[in-house]
Each structure stands twice: as C-alpha cells, then as structure tokens.
Amino acid sequence: MTEPLRLSKRMSELGLCSRREADEWIARGWVRVDGQVVSELGSKVLPHQKVTVERQAAAQQAKRVTVLLHKPMGYVSGQAEDGYRPAVVLVTPENRWDEDKAPLQFHGSQLKSLVPAGRLDIDSTGLLVLTQDGRIAKQLIGEDTSIEKEYLVRVQYQRGPRLPDAELKRLNHGLSLDGKKLLPAKVSWQNEDQLRFVLREGKKRQIRRMCELVGLKVLGLKRVRIGRVKLGNLPPGKWRYLGSEEGF
C-alpha cells in the first residue's frame, strides 16, 4: 500500500510551490484535495489524490519577483556575517540596471522574503539569484537539481610551470571533498591563466577546494551563467529582474 505524504511535501513535489508556501496556503484555506478544502497543517495525502490551489494562491505567486544581481567582492550572499553586508542591500531603485527591460516597478514589498537561491563566497563575483519564489529556489538548490553553473576562474599553478594534463583530468572527474566523490564537472582552459568550470553541484567553496587539491591557487572567481540565464553585460553592483520569458 502506498504511504501517505505530508500535503506540503506533496505540493512541493508537484512543483506547485515551496513547502513553506504550501503551509501558508493551507492555513489560509487555499488548498483542496479531491475538491475538498484542507486547512489543517500537517495533513497527509495519498499520491493518487488530486491537489489543487485556489486562484488567490496563483495570484499571490505571480507577484513574487526574482532578481539577478552582479555581486561584487566584499558582500556575503545570505545573512550578514563578520561585519560584512548581505548582497540584498544592493537591491535598491538606484542600483537597478538602466538596460533592464522588465516592465516591473520596484516596490519595497519585493524585498520581503527575497532570499539567495545558492551562494557566492565573499571573495567571488558574478551572477547571484535572489528570489521570493520557492519554486525557483527548489529548482536551483534542491537536492536533485541538474542546473549547470558556469564560472571563470583565474588561477596560478604552485607546483611547476604548468598544470599537468593528468591533473586537469582529475578536476573534470576524480576528486573527492568531505569523503564524497564529486559529480563529473567540465573544466577546460579559457586562456593561459583562466579555467572555465561548469558544475552541477555547489559544495561550500567547492571550486577553490578543488583547485587546492591539484596545486592551483585561485586569484579570481566569477560566476557567469546559471542554467540558461547568463550574467551578460550586467555591471558589478547592479541588478535586474528575471524576465517573464526567461527560465533557468
């Protein structure tokens, strides 16, 4: 017999929303199971049961924004720490990119629950996604995400004149961190002192630690793409909205 699941978990699995959003919608009476309103948190459903949401939930979700920021060095991705400011403080009307084509007006309510979907180290730059939409957060940082992230990494080899080809192969597949084998990566030379990394996972300081294992020192790290969304010409410290026609 199939085991019942928490309704919020099932809604997340179906891609309707995040678990936190699901609990909020359930509490408001916006969720139906087989046509019946379910408003008790912790309720369970069977996988074959039909889950639907009221129009108010879809309308609320449509108002949620996703922001693409070119994070400069010196800002942390999430909560303020060690005296450093979080990247979200850069999301102001003054810092909006002049070339942003999105027809949205900036409003202070867009900063509420605007959280990073993934991280960039304090000393890394490039594309950082901040979103109010739990579906996008799950897509980018969920356990089973397959979204590629691309980085340009300026390096210096510490053990000789040039990184041996065998070590480049290990960067592509053959390294472990924290006792676990890393997923295959795509690592290639962009020019004589810069590597291009394409990863499908994001362990803490992963690229820097991978480089250390093969004798490379990272001098600069910039994320230039997440899935199909590119950093493009977005200047450092500026942001724009994710367009309605764009997807990761």
User: What is the domain range of residue 34?
Assistant: 5-62
Cβ proximity of 187 and 168 under 8 Å: yes
Query: Are 237 and 119 found together in one domain?
Result: yes
Residue whose structure tokens are 């990566």: 185
Reported as a pLDDT band with limits 50, 70 and 90, residue 6 is very high
- Chain centre to alpha carbon of residue 20: 17
Active site residue 82: no
pLDDT at residue 141, rounded to an integer: 85
pLDDT at residue 1, rounded to an integer: 54
Termini Cα distance of the chain: 37
Query: Are 221 and 153 found together in one domain?
Result: yes
Which candidate in 121, 133, 144, 193 is catalytic?
A: 121
CATH number of the domain at 168, please.
3.30.2350.10
pLDDT at residue 125, rounded to an integer: 98
Residue whose structure tokens are 């394409």: 198
The verdict on residue 248 lying in a domain is: no
Query: Are 46 and 98 found together in one domain?
Result: no
User: What's the predicted TM-score (pTM) here?
Assistant: 0.82
CATH number of the domain at 133, please.
3.30.70.580
Neighbours of 25 (CB within 10 A): 24
Tens-digit pLDDT profile for residues 103-129: 999 999 899 889 999 999 999 999 999
Query: Are 154 and 31 found together in one domain?
Result: no
Query: Are 110 and 14 found together in one domain?
Result: no
